[in-house]
Amino acid sequence: MDLKPTKPLTGFIELLPAQQRCFDYCANRMQEVLKTAGYNRLDLPSIERAEVLTDKDNWDEIETQMYLFEKGDTKMGLRYDGTVGLSRYVAGHLNDLVFPFRAYQFAKNYRGERRQRGRYREFWQMDIDILGIENLSANYDAEIVATLLRVYDSVSEFVGGVKVKVGNRKFWNAMFEYLELDEKQSRELFILVDKRDKIPDFKDAVIEIIGDKKAEIIENIFDKGYKSFIGKSEKLDTAIREMDDFIETLQDMGVKNAEIDISVMRGHSYYTGIVFEFFSTKYPEMLALGGGGRYENLASKFSKTKIVGVGASVGVSRLLVPLMEENKIDLSQFENNVDVAVLVMGNQNARYSMNVVTKLRENGIATVSYLDADKKFKNQIEYADKIVARFAAIIGDDEVANKVVALKDMKSGEQKSMSVEDVIKTVKVK
């Protein structure tokens, strides 16, 4: 019989145990920050009706990347981010939730993207949102950015520092109006600016859409800076003031690593105001680590109630997995998940040793037992060594007769007979 492949599908992540412990440790720390900030964890379905996921108003790239399928007569698909499910959930629970409602999700999402560094087809992402009915003050935009910076900071010992770049969708809308572009031109230009870094002949592409003269104005945004447009139109002024205020509020809150970058757009079509993206300062080659922004009507597909909000996502797989794969994270503190390996010499001693194991575990000591009791001592101690156990508790006929265990410190090699109670004390002290 032909053997089936043991590798996961391209773009799907599989970690070794120590990597997984590092991932889990970081993910827990990040979530602790959100819990302390009063965000409610939501766990929403990974599968949604296709009609909920797809949207003719959705002009961004995601439409081509979805995993869609049928089961029975129902068309459905896998979630690609947390926003669609959240909109549906909140619209369906308007009376069950207290607004402003703080929510976070930590879930797997699915996108059939082309493979590149840091992009996966299945990835863990945190989605963080603050939602209000009808109105929500701009203060929340600052609070969410400050909170996310603390989220990243909670794992900075592993991934280094992060900075945030702030843009404003209103600036571009005002600009398109100022340039008198039609809807089609606006949309095409938007997509172009969003991908500016990746397009080598950016200027030519802009000229093709809006002509020479207007393209020069676009060029000026990047060359002379967005501030050179102060006074050009009321809407441009408002948008610029909003960004400046936002940065000032952040600075007042002690945020030092925030700056305006007018080319920050965020791909999704639902953003309407301030948008922001997080970048690694230690690894500038990494893609944006996360980002988000303000939306003015989240759940219009699901409810007549106007739900406004500010939301963001943090790509946890994208942040951690490439660094682990490239050995840029020191995993030594995650190599070990066991305090004591109980080794059993002879099957007649298995039951006694299983009771020892139970007592150690009940005292919160991470304990495994090697229960192939007919194996030689050499094999058993090798096992304790390989799993990097701190101690081996060796149990043979003598130990059972005297109701003790022989506790060996795997680092020093020191070995001593003692009662289970003394084992507990010894292991806990170390």
Other Cβ atoms closer than 10 A to 79 = 25
Place of tokens 């949309």: 187
* Binding region for a second copy (CB under 8 A) out of 65-73, 154-162, 191-199, 270-278: 65-73
State which of residues 199, 350, 410, 418 lies at the interface with a second copy (CB under 8 A). 350
Q: In this structure, are residues 340 and 389 in contact, taking their beta carbons and an 8 Å threshold?
A: yes
Q: In this structure, are residues 366 and 393 in contact, taking their beta carbons and an 8 Å threshold?
A: no
Residues of span 246-305 touching a second copy by CB under 8 A: 249, 252-254, 301-304
Kindly state the smallest distance separating residue 206's Cβ from a second copy, in Å: 32
Q: Which of 168, 148, 165 is nearest to 314 (CA)?
A: 148
State which of residues 355, 402, 415, 419 lies at the interface with a second copy (CB under 8 A). 355
Tell me whether residue 136 or residue 262 sits nearer to a second copy (CB atom): 136
Q: Is 428 in the site for a second copy (CB under 8 A)?
A: no
Residues of span 324-343 touching a second copy by CB under 8 A: 337-338
Residues of span 206-235 touching a second copy by CB under 8 A: none
DSSP state of 119: B
Partners of 131 in beta bridges: 101, 309
The site map against a second copy for 86-125 (x = CB under 8 A) is --xx-xxx--xxx-x-x-----x-x-x--------xx---
Distance CA 147, CA 33 (A): 8
* Binding region for a second copy (CB under 8 A) out of 14-22, 186-194, 393-401, 419-427: 14-22
Tell me whether residue 27 or residue 265 sits nearer to a second copy (CB atom): 27
The 10 Å CB-count burial string (b at 16+, else e) for 248-259 is ebbeeeebebbe
Question: What phi and psi values does residue 378 have, to the nearest 5 degrees?
Answer: -55, -45
Kindly state the smallest distance separating residue 228's Cβ from a second copy, in Å: 29
Tokens representing 25?
A: 């440790």
Q: Is 354 in the site for a second copy (CB under 8 A)?
A: yes
Residues of span 151-210 touching a second copy by CB under 8 A: none
Q: Is 364 in the site for a second copy (CB under 8 A)?
A: yes
Residues of span 118-147 touching a second copy by CB under 8 A: 121-122, 132, 135-137, 139-140, 142-143, 146
Kindly state the smallest distance separating residue 345's Cβ from a second copy, in Å: 13
Residues of span 382-421 touching a second copy by CB under 8 A: 383, 386-387
Please, what's the largest Cα pairwise distance for the chain?
Answer: 95
Kindly state the smallest distance separating residue 253's Cβ from a second copy, in Å: 5
312's enclosing H/E stretch is: strand 307-315
Measured CA to CA in angstroms, residue 310 lies from 50, 102, 140, 245, 305 at distances of 25, 10, 7, 16, 16
Distance CA 259, CA 119 (A): 25
Q: Is 67 in the site for a second copy (CB under 8 A)?
A: yes
Q: Is 241 in the site for a second copy (CB under 8 A)?
A: no
Distance CA 316, CA 124 (A): 6
